[in-house]
Amino acid sequence: MSGPSVIELRAVAQPQTTMDRNSGEHWAGALYMRKLSIYVTWALARTPISPNQVTGLMIVSGLLAGVVLALPGLWAAIAAAVLIQVYLLLDCSDGELARWTHRTSITGVYLDRVGHYFAEAALLIGLGFRASETLPDWYTVLGFAAALGAILIKSETDLVDVARARSGLSATTEAAAEHFQSRRLGAARKVAAALRFHRVIQAVELSILVVIAAVVDAVWGTVAGGLTATQVLTVACVVFAVLQTVLHLVSILASRRLA
């Protein structure tokens, strides 16, 4: 079956406006995944599969990562991390395929956001089950709590555009997110962004941390106070989720995003 060359596909599917955007593009996408995804998109463009079906596969990969992570052993952690890489790959390819086939849609944008919600929540819930010595115990609860925090953080972001749309305004811009009514709050946000602690509960970063924790567990067993590295990571995820939920809300209210 004939189709576009990779060069032709890249010109349309990976426009410079997409590659240069500051937000919305994960560092792993910019670093290596976009270099791989264009070849997957090239192959998908030769099949009848639709962009939304690719997004559906992305969602399944994210959910499976959480299920696999709940299993014991180092290999389960590695498999979950691999599934998250597949999730990221498909997350890149669905948009590329949509741009190439001119089948971008509101449904696709919606499903993409749903996939991000599901993947992060599933991974954190899986982490809670993995950290639990008996089922259920407090680590199970902490996993669900961290997942709720991750969902709330994403909801806070998405609800900005909901509020603006209901007020007859257009979607917010990156510039508005950087403009604060208080210089101190603006400086605090820059410090928080530089520390990158918010990435601990994001799917790609968390999957890497889970593998590291699993290796530590396999080598040393416990690391502090009789806790495993996986249990320490679970507690850290809850702490970061709570902090980020509060700080992100303050950041939105103090910025120009709702103006």
Confidence of residue 255 (pLDDT cuts 50, 70, 90): confident
Instruction: Tell me the C-alpha distance between 236 and 230, whole Å.
Output: 10
Residues 6+ apart with CB under 8 A from 163: 258
**Which whole-number Å values give the CA distances from 245 to 30, 83, 250, in the listed order?**
26, 27, 9
**Alpha carbon 2 to chain centroid distance?**
35
Q: Which two tokens stand for residue 58?
A: 């992305």
Instruction: Tell me the C-alpha distance between 248 and 166, whole Å.
Output: 21
Question: What secondary structure does DSSP assign to 90-146, as a single string?
Answer: HHHHHHHHHHHHT---HHHHHHHHHHHHHHHHHHHHHHHHHH-SSSS-HHHHHHHHH
Residue 103 contacts residue 50 (beta carbons within 8 Å): yes
Task: Please indicate whether residue 12 or residue 1 has the higher confidence score (pLDDT).
Answer: 12
6-254: CATH class: mainly alpha
Average pLDDT over residues 103-132: 95
Residue 180 has pLDDT above 70, yes or no: no
| Predicted TM-score of the model (pTM) | 0.89
Taking only the tens place, the pLDDT of each residue in 44-99 is 999 999 999 999 999 999 999 999 999 999 999 999 999 999 999 999 999 999 99
Taking only the tens place, the pLDDT of each residue in 137-164 is 999 999 999 999 999 999 999 999 999 9
Give the model's pLDDT for residue 237.
Answer: 97
Averaged pLDDT score across all residues of the chain: 88
Confidence of residue 184 (pLDDT cuts 50, 70, 90): low
Give the model's pLDDT for residue 55.
Answer: 97
Give the model's pLDDT for residue 19.
Answer: 66
Instruction: Tell me the C-alpha distance between 51 and 110, whole Å.
Output: 12
Confidence of residue 26 (pLDDT cuts 50, 70, 90): confident
Task: Please indicate whether residue 181 or residue 15 has the higher confidence score (pLDDT).
Answer: 15
Question: What secondary structure does DSSP assign to 210-244, as a single string?
Answer: HHHHHHHHHHHS--BTTB-HHHHHHHHHHHHHHHH
Q: Using omega within 30 degrees of 0 as the cis cutoff, is the peptide bond preceding 136 cis?
A: yes
Confidence of residue 206 (pLDDT cuts 50, 70, 90): very high
Would you list the domain boundaries of the chain? 6-254
Give the model's pLDDT for residue 248.
Answer: 87
Q: Positive or negative CA dihedral for 27, 30, 36, 38?
A: positive
